[in-house]
């Protein structure tokens, strides 16, 4: 199954097939489960073909850390922002204030998974909530 098989798609299904082709493998698997439950059928073989046609899933190597909630220890969170980003006090405070006001703020971009997890631990210890994307 290393070669992609050409399949003639009837005109009435072209739009639907085009949308499905754009879906990530995870969403495609979820869609298949929903259709199986809805119609009481099994799509075991088509799932394998669809997953094989999608190709290998690339593992993400670059992550962004976004500050979602500051929590009660605002000063501690400012210290973590300064430590993680090497920003000055005013820039760190402005970033934390914006996050406290409800606007998620990007703290660090393009970091490895391990570094993102370490940054998340620091913010969690300071009482803040971050999201790794």
pLDDT for 13-23, tens place per residue?
888 888 888 88
- Per-residue model confidence (pLDDT) at position 45: 53
DSSP class of residue 56?
P
| Residue with the larger pLDDT of the pair 59 and 30 | 30
Domains of the chain: 11-54 (no CATH), 63-132 (3.30.1390.10)
Q: Is 9 helix (H, G, I), strand (E, B) or coil?
A: coil
pTM of the model: 0.53
Q: Tokens standing for 15?
A: 């739009």
């Amino acid at each position: 199954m290393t070669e992609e098989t050409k399949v003639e798609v009837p005109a009435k299904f072209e739009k639907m097939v085009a949308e499905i082709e754009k879906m990530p493998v995870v969403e495609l698997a979820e869609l298949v489960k929903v259709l199986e439950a809805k119609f009481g059928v099994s799509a075991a073989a088509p799932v394998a073909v669809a997953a094989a046609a999608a190709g290998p899933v690339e593992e993400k190597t670059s992550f962004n850390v976004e500050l979602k909630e500051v929590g009660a220890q605002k000063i501690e969170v400012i210290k973590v922002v300064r430590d993680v980003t090497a920003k000055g006090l005013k820039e760190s405070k402005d970033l934390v204030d914006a996050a406290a006001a409800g606007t998620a703020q990007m703290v660090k971009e393009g970091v490895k998974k391990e570094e993102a997890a370490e940054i998340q631990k620091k913010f969690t210890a300071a009482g803040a909530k971050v999201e790794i994307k």
